[in-house]
Structure 1
């Protein structure tokens, strides 16, 4: 099989596309013929050794995939060859095949294609876990989404609306905010032109947001913690800005607020039943038309460098997907 390989930490230009050994399923695994692989910000970190997960060399990036099962291990009873599935791989999806634990794949909805499915798991899984289990967001509460035009941000906008929240989308340009508006955002903030803190206060009549979804970190986190309502919850999702911020603990005291970490991968592994229930709801919303995943760019497998660069430069709107098979 062909695979994009990382043999030493470095930028996307350091990767190579080579022939690799075909995987063989262990007892609890399935081998997946990959049709499409989602591209996510952690992929840009893992190849540079900046992510919490550090696979042994050589490895392929790519934390999620969709395809068709070609073989199953002897202990796998709930899946069979020919099943269309999506999987949370962690790494390894920039390849024609992968062996993956059977508990880390889910059957694809019948009305979902491979490209959509490849970009669904991580963004919607993360945002659903964040808003349901971590924030316990309630109908009528105000949700502020930072980086609202990115993959997880757009998912958070859509899920927030499906859960009955009033959604304020914040992004760095008018073009990105139009994408968030099309996804259902009620209010828009261009934080390249105005103070995030002041704009949130104005939109909430001085109260602040009940839940803040932050995949950006850096300076925006610094403003967000000062834009939170009494008993608000600030969800720490990621640090796309590159700077991991420090939190002044006195602000939590003054607002009775919480800083809540979100690590969907660990949640899915530790609480598989709750994760499955999340996806059952997500698939239902998808079939009802409440979730409309936006895949803005697709690349072929040999265009992996371009796919990763668009993520690392923060130019992506919605999801970016590598099409491994036509």
Structure 2
């Protein structure tokens, strides 16, 4: 079988397609014929040598989708999505290969309403969104939330999940193309930062009060702006740092208005919490609330184009590596 392997981690990374033997199934595991795996920020950080626990050679990506070929739990042919947690693509070989053997607990059955491409983009982003919103942010139905990077894979997962859980969502994007795309997806309240100022616009849409919660997959200077956009005793949940690893905020504003800055990392989820989140993601997807958007797909022949697209921060949805040559 073919596998895309990071032979050397660092800058620049050394990646190559290798022929590898078929993996062997063990008890409580399933053999999955992969359809597609994600090209996501984590796989980019790993291949650049920024994750200390990762060592080469390593197959990247911690979420994807395929069909069951052999299993004691699932019927052959069952379409499944794979949640890699903090191991696959980091400390163990991941999903950018044609067949994988994975623990049954990492699999969720895809509803008929989702394609395999959509299923590949479901696990990590939507588990992250669900847990950041519920476990960390403790969202209450009817609250108003602010979400920057709303047309990115994680940003849109946050938008859909918050909406499904009863929030009023204000989406934030960086340019007119992304604003148009956000509206085409059904987002009614969109702030285009190329056309208006964030704080002023948020205050005008919240009667001068600010938002209850903000969920930040961007980081950098955006985090400081989101703190300013909060109402009294509001909270920002910081999830990503594609926009930078440092932020500035007004300490007086933070203290006087009892605002909070919270962090979230999906790789710290307990097994029980991850199981609960996967169940909820599956339930909401089956009910039609969750549907990932795919920006573009790549193959073993042009995978570097996918990583360049990721680095451009212009993607509007998930990036996939198609590994099933019959697709």
TM-score by length of 2: 0.89
Residue 210 of structure 1 deviates from its aligned partner by 0.7
**Structure 1 residues 259-268 or 298-307, which shifts more?**
259-268
Corresponding residue for residue 101 of structure 1: 103
Matching residue of 1:64 = 63
> Contact 2:148/2:218 (CA < 8 Å) preserved in 1?
yes
Q: Equivalences for 1:160-171 in 2 at 5 Å?
A: 160-171=162-173
Question: Aligned to 2:302, what secondary structure does the other structure show?
Answer: helix
Residue in structure 2 matched with residue 152 of structure 1 by the alignment: 154
Residue of structure 2 in register with 1:207 after alignment: 209
| SS of the residue 1:117 aligns to | helix
Contact 1:39/1:63 (CA < 8 Å) preserved in 2?
no
In structure 2, the partner of 1:221 is 223
Could you tell me whether the CA contact under 8 Å between 1:94 and 1:301 is conserved in 2? no
Equivalent residues of 2:11, 2:49 under 8 A apart: no
1:32 corresponds to which residue?
A: 32
SS at match of 2:117: helix
**Within 1, Cα distance between the matches of 2:21 and 2:250?**
50
Of the candidates 232, 250, 266, which is equivalent to residue 264 of structure 1? Answer: 266
Q: Is the 8 A contact 2:227 2:259 kept in 1?
A: no
Rounded to whole Å, the distance in 2 between the matches of 1:19 and 1:59 is 13
RMSD: 2.1
Instruction: Report the more deviating stretch, 7-16 or 170-179.
Output: 7-16
CA distance in 1 between counterparts of 2:274 and 2:151 reads 28
- Offset at residue 247 of structure 1 (A): 5.8
Equivalence for 2:4? 4
State yes or no: 1:137 paired with 2:150: no
Residues 25, 160 of structure 1: alpha-carbon distance in 2 compared, 3 angstrom cutoff: same
Q: Closer, same or farther in 2 for the Cα pair 1:11/1:151, shift >3 Å?
A: farther
Distance 1:306 1:313, change over 3 A: same
Quote the Cα distance in structure 2 between the aligned partners of 1:323 and 1:12: 23
TM-superposed CA distance for 1:207, in Å, is 1.1
SS at 1:213's partner residue? strand
Does the CA-based 8 Å contact 1:296-1:319 persist in structure 2?
yes
Q: How many angstroms apart in 2 are the aligned matches of 1:277 and 1:102?
A: 14
In 2, Cα distance between the equivalents of 1:281 and 1:38?
Answer: 22
Aligned-pair CA distance for 1:18: 1.4
Taking a change above 3 Å as real, the CA distance of residues 51 and 176 of structure 1, as seen in their structure-2 partners, is: farther
1:201 aligns to what SS in structure 2?
helix
Moved more, 145-154 or 198-207: 198-207
Deviation of 1:193 after TM superposition, in Å, equals 4.2
Question: Please, which of 62, 73, 79 is the counterpart of residue 78 of structure 1?
Answer: 73
Question: Within 2, Cα distance between the matches of 1:51 and 1:310?
Answer: 21
Provide TM-score, normalisation by structure 1: 0.89
Q: Name 1:195's counterpart in structure 2.
A: 197
Verify the 8 A CA contact 2:130 2:277 in the aligned structure 1.
no
Q: Deviations over 1:14-50 (max 9, x none)?
A: 3111112322223332222101112211111110122
CA contact (8 A) 2:221 2:248 kept: no
Cα deviations across residues 214-263 of structure 1 (Å, max 9, x unaligned)?
Answer: 00100111111111112212111100113233666554432222222222
Paired positions, count? 318
1:163 to partner: Cα distance: 2.1
For the residues of structure 1 that align with 2:47 and 2:223, how far apart are their CA atoms? 26
Distance, in Å, in 2 between the alignment partners of 1:28 and 1:244 is 42
CA distance in 1 between partners of 2:100 and 2:262 (Å):
33
Partner of 1:172: 174
Alpha carbons of 1:273 and 1:19: their partners in 2 closer, same or farther (altered >3 Å)?
closer
Structure 2: 5+ residue stretches without partners: none
Matched, 1:323 2:322: yes
Tell me if structure 2 keeps the 8 A contact 1:167–1:187: yes
> Is there any run of 5+ residues in structure 1 with no aligned partner, and where?
none
Instruction: Write the distance in 1 (CA, Å) between the matches of 2:219 and 2:268.
Output: 20
Q: Which moved more, 1:233-242 or 1:26-35?
A: 26-35
How far apart are the structure 1 equivalents of 2:280 and 2:179? 27
